[in-house]
Structure 1
């Protein structure tokens, strides 16, 4: 289990750097409540974006983004609503993205940013 936690943390760090390099502002990382966790919350040109990061070290179980199931999407939407109710600012526009990180032992990570996927 420790390997998966470290892999996930590495993927989230790479995803955060990737999004920042694309001009997005990290608002919050690993927001938790009793119902679960939101990986990244970013601002992209006035839009609040809830980003689910999925990291894999190979394709044996499919591409990382395939792990964002219907149940996972529903849970993220519910968590986003809880996060929004705790905030003071006007959060009028929101979006749900997935960042897929594929790490290999031999090459550079492959990062794919899927915008507005659910």
Structure 2
């Protein structure tokens, strides 16, 4: 099996994530929180330990970018992504600040603030 260079592998992964999330959105009509959880899980080290900081182009930021693309397709999708992220705040409560900082560290605006008091409607 031929190995791919890092840039090509990242591009393939990003495309696959976006395609997967788009298909899931079309089938379900709303975003599946399992997909959101899977994407955010690429940021587990940062969420749990506070380091290393994610940066644009890192796997963590690529996943946050995929969330942004999922959320951008409609108001319903943005609300679904918001609700899914809010549901992650509870299990990760001690690390909710880390989750909230992810979009900013990645240079991405999701269009809402990740905060326990955010109204996703």
Q: Name the TM-score class by shorter chain.
A: 0.3 to 0.5
Structure in which a larger fraction of residues adopt strand: 1
Structure in which a larger fraction of residues adopt helix: 2
User: What is the TM-score of this pair, normalised by structure 1?
Assistant: 0.35
